Amino acid sequence: MTRTLHKSGQMYAEAQRYLAGGVSSDARRMPGVPLYVDHAEGSRLWDVDGNVYIDYVLGQGPALLGHCPREVAEAVAAQAVRGMAYSAQHAAEVRVAERLCAMVPSAERVRFNTVGSEAVHAALRLARGYTGRSRVLKFEGHYHGWLDPVLYSVHPALDAAGPAQAPRPVPGTAGQQPGHADDLIVCPWNDLAALRRTMEAHAGQLAAVIAEPILCNTGAIAPEPGYLEEVQRLCREHGTLLVFDEIITGFRLAPGGAQEFLGITPDLSVFGKAMAGGMQVSALVGRAEVMDHISTGQVAHAGTFNSHPVGIAAAEATLRILDRRREAVYGTLFSTGAELMEGLRAAAAKAGVPLLVDGPGPVFQTYFTDASAVRNYRDFAATDRAMMSRLHAALLDRGVNMVPRGLWFMSTEHSSADIDATVDAFSSALKVM
């Protein structure tokens, strides 16, 4: 199959005259012409040239219920005619906060933001204000937003990253202030000995340890058995707050996020993406004792669009569905995810292609590798990422859209027919590769 991209090409040429790089987010860059979507519904995208795609990007994860779920769209439309922005409180934000506190194990208090980067920034400021300490430990390969203090060692070049057991903070972009690295310590993921050693070396200095509880920005890498339990124990021993970045995993794996799925309750958590079905809402939640440092005014937190009425309307509708229909929603996500994962494995085996397919199901990763497991960023970096990029292009030509680095998001709207068509496209793509 060869896609027609005449209109898309024209739009991209025009966009490059006005948009820096021709796109509004670096995550949308790709070789050739970017995807120009006309509309989306359920499990499908239609581009401006009329090409149709089975979509496993889902807006980078938010469309857990598929694109344009009717109840969410109706809630957004109803609120839009009542008011777009109030700069005042409203009843829906209280209802959504109450539901979050009922659904999420770590949530005793809530503050809303618009995007994940803001929520992470608020969490780390709060951790510093609460503990009186300045330093934060993050894990290599974990992404916590694009702001300067945390955009380090996400996918660093290995020749700059330092030893595997003691990585160096590597900035993610030109223009970052060098001094931010002074307060940031980087550890390898799934290495308890390195973590113990690092936390001992910085005893009394660490305000927070922040982690994606399942690493989804570098593969889909679960914590090894007992790992997060020991991370939590070490944080308590050192008087350090444990912060879960659940921007991706939140509401995707369970109604209470990865913390419910894994059985680990952090001190603070941040949520976004799937919590509002595609609208821009994020949340910082956590223990009342910690969160009340905001309410007393000790730690500043503000924003014109915090608890934006239209976004909150989407969140209320989405969370109501996830809460009330949890068995149907999560049963579907896990079963269809497992079905697609197995289909991709079988297709690769038939083609004689070394492929690892790993992850919980509602989100998972494909890796071109002979390895039996990927445990951390260094393992991920050793996989054939150039081949994964070629797979992405070949699948797009065959009407399947996945995250270019090999990540797949499932929705409740993906059907068995979608999965069969995806496996057929995958098999065809492998043949030409």
Q: Give the catalytic positions in this structure.
A: 143, 245, 273
Burial category of 409 from C-beta neighbours within 10 Å (exposed 0-12, middle 13-18, buried 19 and up): buried
Question: Hunting for tokens 């966009």 — which residue is that?
Answer: 15
Which of 65, 59, 72, 15 shows the shortest CA–CA distance to 314?
Answer: 72
From the DSSP assignment, how many helices (H) and strands (E) are in the chain?
13, 14
Query: Both tokens of residue 355?
Result: 């492929």
Contacts of 205 (CB under 8 A, 6+ apart): 133, 134, 135
- DSSP assignments along 259-297, one per residue: HHHHT---SEEEE-GGGGBTB--EEEEE-HHHHHHHHTT
Task: Name the residue type at position 144.
Answer: H
How far is it, in rounded angstroms, from Cα 299 to Cα 168? 30
How far is it, in rounded angstroms, from Cα 319 to Cα 326? 10
Q: Are 61 and 245 in contact (CB under 8 A)?
A: no
How far is it, in rounded angstroms, from Cα 213 to Cα 224? 11
322: three-class secondary structure by DSSP = helix
How far is it, in rounded angstroms, from Cα 293 to Cα 127? 10
How far is it, in rounded angstroms, from Cα 302 to Cα 113? 9
Q: Are 404 and 60 in contact (CB under 8 A)?
A: no
Contacts of 42 (CB under 8 A, 6+ apart): 66, 67, 68, 411, 413
Q: Can you say whether residue 239 is alpha, beta or left, with left for phi > 0 and alpha for psi between -120 and 50 degrees?
A: left
